[in-house]
Amino acid sequence: MTNQRSFKTRVRARMEKTGESYTTARRHLINRTATPAAAPARDVSPSPASAAAQTERIADDLVRARTGRGWAEWFELLDAAGATERTHTQIARHLVVEHEVAGWWAQSITVGYEQARGLRAPGQRRGGGFSAGASRTVAVPVVRLFGAFADETARARWLPDVEVRLRTATAPRSFRADWAGGPTRLVVGFEAVGESKARVSVSHEKLTGAEQAAELKAYWRERLAALKVLLESDGDHR
């Protein structure tokens, strides 16, 4: 919430300075954070204020309700399986195959484990580099939620004034695209939650550091909230 308010404050400050509309000022700030600065590379580690750990973002009770175990129990099982010596993909696959954890939750538990064991910092990818993530459950079928990303006209209703170049899309499971001409990219996953609800998870990858990751995390939380309101307020939920 703090990061989102901070970003909105910066948008309004630019509006006052330039006379731009809110949408135009926001677009300029997002495009600026999506472009690496022409400065020497430096080692940037996210602080607790800029990126929350997975175990803080997803409550233990929710993990237990959806997967049958809480964070500590999953960490103990993964330790016993030697997960600190495995890649991210291998850990997630182990959870899916050996413990029948659904794909989205397997990924979430894997990220939480890697952060807890010091294999990555919050906001940082396993091999280095940074990403920003956000997710939302929306009361519409998964096909419709997927269409809000994959269909250009539908996407413009909630993600205006942003250039998104499609790379690959597999309906209704995944959507990958370049963001604002690159070099950052979007990796979006979709999961049905019954017949009338679905979850979308956005990962904005190849970011330059913790500050950019925090800003884009706030941005995606805001945009997914807007998407939820838009889709759920439409009369047609087919």
What pTM did the predictor assign? 0.55
Percent of the chain with pLDDT over 90: 52
Q: Note the pLDDT tens digit of each residue in 38-85.
A: 333 333 333 333 356 788 888 999 999 999 999 999 999 999 999 999
- On the question of a cis peptide bond just before residue 183, with omega within 30 degrees of 0, the verdict is yes
Q: Note the pLDDT tens digit of each residue in 163-193.
A: 999 999 999 999 999 998 789 999 999 999 9
Decide if 122 contacts 46 (C-beta within 8 A): yes
Report the mean per-residue pLDDT for the chain.
Answer: 82
Decide if 144 contacts 231 (C-beta within 8 A): yes
Q: In the structure, what pLDDT confidence band is assigned to residue 120 with cuts at 50, 70 and 90?
A: confident
User: What was the pLDDT predicted at 42?
Assistant: 31
pLDDT surpasses 60 at 146: yes
Phi, psi of 2 (to 5 degrees): -60, -45
**Burial grade of 134 (CB within 10 A; 0-12, 13-18, 19 or more):** buried
Element (H, E) at 237: none
DSSP class of residue 1 equals -
